[in-house]
Structures are given as C-alpha cells and as structure tokens.
C-alpha cells in the first residue's frame, strides 16, 4: 500500500531515485497525482523549508531535496497537465537587470513550486519590462524579484513604477528579496512584501496571491 510519508521522507533525505521509484509505485497502485503532490512532495518540501528557516540545514541540503522533489514532479506534472489541475497561483520570478546571482532566486522558485505555484522563471538580468510582460501577457499574478547587489536594487523600484505605468499594478502583487534587501526598502519602493529567506517567501507568496482572489 502506497505510503505518502515514505515519499516525503525520501524527499527530505534528498534521495531522488527513491522518490522517483516510490512515486511510480504509488501511481501504479492508483493513487491520484495530486494526492502525491499535496500529501507527499509538498509536505516533504514544507519540512525542508522549515528546517532551512531554522538553520537546521543549509543551502546544499535544500538543493538536494529540491532535486528529489523535481524527480517526482517530472513524473507527475504531465499527468496533472492532462487532468488540468490548477496551481494555487502563477509567479514570475527573476533576478533584476544587471544582476547575475541566481542561487537564492532558484531556491525561492523551488520553494514556491513546492508550495503549489506555477513558476515562470525569467532567469537573471531581468528588465522591468520583462516582469511587466509576464503579468500582462503570461498570466503571472506575482512578480518575485531577487537582487544581491546594492547597485541593482533600484531596478526593483523601476519595476514597481513600470507596473504602475503599464496599468497592471492592481492585478498583481510584487514581492522582493535578496541579501541586501530589507522590509524598509520594500516599504520605500511600494512593494507588497519582502521575505528574508526562501521558506518565508513561499508563505508570503501564498498570502499575497490570496489577496487577489
Ligand atoms: Co557575488 N557578490 N558578485 N557572485 N556573491 C555577493 C552578493 C557580495 C555580497 C560578495 C561580497 O563582496 N562580500 C557582493 C555584493 C556587494 C554588494 O553589492 N553589497 C558581490 C559582488 C560584488 C559580485 C561581483 C560584482 C564581483 C565582481 O565581479 N567584482 C559580481 C557581480 C556579477 C553580477 O551579478 N553582475 C559577482 C559575481 C558572483 C559569482 C558569479 C561569482 C557568484 C554568483 C553565482 C550564481 O549566483 N550563479 C557570486 C556569489 C556566489 C556571491 C556570494 C558569495 C553568495 C551569494 C549566494 O548565492 N548566497 C555573495 C556573498 C554572500 O552573500 N555571502 C556575493 C546564497 C543564497 C542562497 O543567498 O541569494 O541571499 P541569497 O538568497 C537567500 C535570501 O536572500 C532570500 O532567499 C534565499 C534563500 O534563503 N531571497 C529571497 C533571495 N531572493 C529572494 C527573493 C524573494 C524572497 C527571498 O522574493 C521574491
């Protein structure tokens, strides 16, 4: 009998091949893909996020767990697409123009994915126009910006202003983060939220997307 806890445990331990095998076995036994996602993968990744937030584990462990999660999702996503299961929200994420740091951005993207969001990953060196376009033309509800350089932080302000100028400011929520970014800066530029780490970013994203409902 398929055990969702076993899958969550394998994910937490970062055992990608084991996750893959257990997910396939669960599917063979008739467990629905969305049950595996919600009761095994998201639960497991949630625990990883909490441990990371509490400094019980570090970036490498999170990346390894995320790889295990992706191994499970790679099997489940096509099946879920067939059934047209809706994500809890759509988030466009990127590191702002002039900034090539992507480790934190990727962690945030993984946590959001783990929380059930569809991710539009715009990559690094992303201009305000590209963020705006993701909302205007690609269905994004959240703009998620990361910056690691003090010199690139102003692009976050430019993006908030570009969203207002494009008339999409009310249709989306904007969240920011990255080592030099602060809540005070978020308030100053009119962003809707800031978080210190990837696990809190997932909580914040859920809260912000709920405001749009
Ligand atoms: Co660069 N770098 N770097 N670097 N780099 C820093 C950021 C720096 C602090 C190092 C230092 O001088 N002590 C410094 C910035 C100084 C400043 O502006 N105040 C710096 C510099 C100066 C530079 C260059 C200019 C160096 C040079 O060429 N002279 C250059 C810039 C290139 C560019 O971007 N145009 C550069 C280049 C690089 C590498 C390419 C070598 C490499 C990046 C590789 C990559 O990302 N693929 C690199 C690295 C690795 C670092 C350090 C060492 C580590 C950054 C990192 O990945 N941290 C960094 C020093 C440091 O931070 N100790 C440094 C781990 C990551 C998990 O944390 O990204 O903060 P972080 O993400 C966290 C949170 O901030 C949060 O969640 C994440 C997980 O908890 N978070 C969000 C992040 N985004 C979020 C978004 C959210 C919410 C939360 O909502 C949307």
Q: What is the pLDDT of residues 189-210, one digit of tens each?
A: 999 999 998 889 999 999 999 9
Ligand 1 pocket member 176 (CB < 6 A): yes
CA distance 133 to 127: 10
The lowest-confidence range among 8-12, 48-52, 143-147 is 48-52
| Ligand 1 atom 64 nearest Cα | 148
Ligand 1 pocket member 107 (CB < 6 A): yes
**Residue with tokens 């990744």, as numbered in its chain:** 45
**Residue with tokens 């570090």, as numbered in its chain:** 58
Beta strands in the chain, from DSSP E residues, in sequence order:
89-96, 117-126, 142-146, 173-177, 193-194
- CA 165 from centroid of its chain's CA atoms: 26
Ligand 1 pocket member 118 (CB < 6 A): no
Condensed to tens digits (0 to 9), the pLDDT of residues 113-160 reads 888 899 999 999 999 999 999 999 999 999 999 999 999 999 999 999
3-state percent breakdown (helix, strand, coil) of the chain, nearest 5: 60, 15, 25
Q: What is the percent of the chain with per-residue pLDDT over 70, rounded to a whole number? A: 98
Q: The whole model's pTM is what?
A: 0.87
């Amino acid at each position: 009998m398929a055990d969702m806890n076993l899958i969550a445990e394998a994910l937490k331990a970062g055992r990608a091949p084991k996750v893959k095998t257990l997910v396939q076995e669960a599917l063979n036994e008739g467990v629905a893909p969305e049950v595996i996602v919600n009761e095994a993968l998201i639960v497991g990744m949630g625990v990883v996020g909490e441990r990371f937030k509490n400094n019980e584990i570090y970036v490498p462990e999170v990346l390894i767990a995320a790889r295990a999660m992706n191994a499970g999702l790679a099997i489940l996503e096509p099946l879920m697409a067939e059934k047209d299961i809706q994500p809890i929200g759509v988030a466009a994420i990127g590191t702002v123009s002039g900034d090539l740091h992507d480790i934190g951005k990727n962690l945030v993207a993984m946590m959001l994915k783990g929380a059930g969001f569809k991710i539009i990953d715009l990559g690094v060196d992303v201009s305000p126009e590209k963020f705006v376009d993701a909302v205007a033309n690609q269905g994004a509800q959240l703009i998620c910006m990361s910056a690691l350089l003090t010199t690139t932080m102003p692009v976050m302000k430019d993006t908030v202003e570009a969203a207002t100028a494009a008339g999409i400011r009310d249709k989306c929520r904007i969240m920011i983060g990255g080592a030099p970014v602060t809540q005070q800066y978020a308030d100053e530029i009119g962003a809707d939220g800031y978080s210190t780490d990837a696990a809190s970013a997932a909580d914040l994203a859920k809260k912000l997307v709920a405001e749009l409902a």
